[in-house]
Structure 1
Amino acid sequence: MAEIAGATRDRDAAASADADPAREKHKRRRDVLSVLVRARAEELDGALRALDLAPEFEVLRAPEFGLAMTRGRIGGGGAPFNLGEVTVTRTVVRLASGEVGYGHILGRDRKRAHLVALFDALWQSEATRAVVEDRLLASVAARTAEEDRHVRVKTAATRVNFFTMVRGED
């Protein structure tokens, strides 16, 4: 029995080692998309102009509006509940080289969703990945980190520390 369990562990370890590059690429793309969706329309537009190239692409799914149900939890560990619906815009583009980019954003901004999809596709292309990271992702990540830090500082200022004073010995 122990031999079977050991063989299963070895097989699973080998399978996960083979899948690590794919998982790492998937995680990196997820991180890139999380930065892209926080980019402002003017940042995306300015970065596209700064690229000095007009990428050839086709629109696979035109920008469209829809609703998505948001879910929440009380205290981070409670049972999930439906919080409400939010408006989302989505679009899909494909570069002439074959990379497919997706743009899903909160709100109703067709242009911004289109640019997010375009930059997602450009990031996937080896030829333009470094330029996208240098000219757009680095500055947006720095701006959002500073905004998040500012919110944390403002929130920390309102924190109340409760303590119990012990009198005598127990």
Structure 2
Amino acid sequence: MTTSRTEHAGAAGGTGDPGRELKALMDILAASPGGEITAAAAALGKLPDATPVRGPETGLVMLRGRIGGDGAPFNLGEAAVTRATVRLSGGAVGHAYALGQDREKARLSAVLAALWSEGNRREEILRDVLEPLAEARAAETSRTRREAAATRVDFFTMVRGDD
């Protein structure tokens, strides 16, 4: 999953569109390592108790691909995905999916989604969770691009004159 920093920065700035902001939060949570999510969530203080509704449970999804982006679709392979659904004591429900087998990442992401749904801690979540994680993903992307650019080779062809 690839998203740009500007998409998340707009959401972190408080666009007033809770659906768009929730999508930005879930995108960042999906792209972030579990340890970083745990550290960012710690800034929120004690999180409310969450009752598991489903999972966390791990399963497989089929990845589909296309040759050249426009060819016939084919089954590329399978990937492990972990999902979780939780309910907070106030009744808010949160859902999350995470690539891989990190059950705690999926559970914590679902808790944050449920907190978001309650609505009274959105600014805290944007400031303490979304912004730091978005900055870390932007720095990671920038580093990867610099590393790739350092290995780029420019090829050119010399044309000989007419004989």
TM-score (norm 2): 0.77
Which residue, 49, 54, 58 being the options, matches 2:51?
58
Work out whether residues 38 and 140 of structure 1, in 8 Å CA contact, stay in contact via their aligned partners in 2. no
**TM-fit CA distance, 1:85:** 0.3
Work out whether residues 37 and 133 of structure 2, in 8 Å CA contact, stay in contact via their aligned partners in 1. no
1:157 aligns with 2:157: no
d(CA) in 1 for partners of 2:108, 2:92: 14
d(CA) in 2 for partners of 1:104, 1:114: 9
Work out whether residues 96 and 110 of structure 2, in 8 Å CA contact, stay in contact via their aligned partners in 1. yes
Counterpart in the other structure of 2:39? 46
**TM-fit CA distance, 1:145:** 0.8
d(CA) in 1 for partners of 2:121, 2:58: 29
Work out whether residues 61 and 79 of structure 2, in 8 Å CA contact, stay in contact via their aligned partners in 1. yes
Give the fraction of aligned pairs with identical amino acids, expressed as a percent.
43
Counterpart in the other structure of 1:116? 109
The equivalences for 1:1-170 within 5 A come to 24-165=17-158
Q: Classify 1:79/1:26 alpha carbon distance in 2 versus 1 (closer, same or farther; 3 Å).
A: farther
d(CA) in 1 for partners of 2:87, 2:141: 33
d(CA) in 2 for partners of 1:68, 1:105: 12
TM-score (norm 1): 0.74
Structure 1 residues not aligned, in runs of 5+ = 1-23
Opposite residue 67 of structure 1, the aligned amino acid is L
RCO comparison, higher one (Cα < 8 Å, 6+): 2
d(CA) in 2 for partners of 1:156, 1:71: 29
List structure 1 runs of 4+ shifted beyond 4 angstroms.
Answer: 164-169
Opposite residue 37 of structure 1, the aligned amino acid is A
Structure 2 residues not aligned, in runs of 5+ = 1-16
d(CA) in 2 for partners of 1:60, 1:73: 36
Opposite residue 50 of structure 1, the aligned amino acid is A
| Greater Rg by CA | 1
d(CA) in 1 for partners of 2:57, 2:137: 26
Q: Classify 1:139/1:162 alpha carbon distance in 2 versus 1 (closer, same or farther; 3 Å).
A: same
- Alpha-carbon RMSD: 2.2
Counterpart in the other structure of 1:10? none
Work out whether residues 88 and 114 of structure 2, in 8 Å CA contact, stay in contact via their aligned partners in 1. yes
> Once the two structures are superposed, what CA deviation does each residue of 1:73-105 show, in whole Å capped at 9, x if it has no partner?
333333332110011111101223333211211
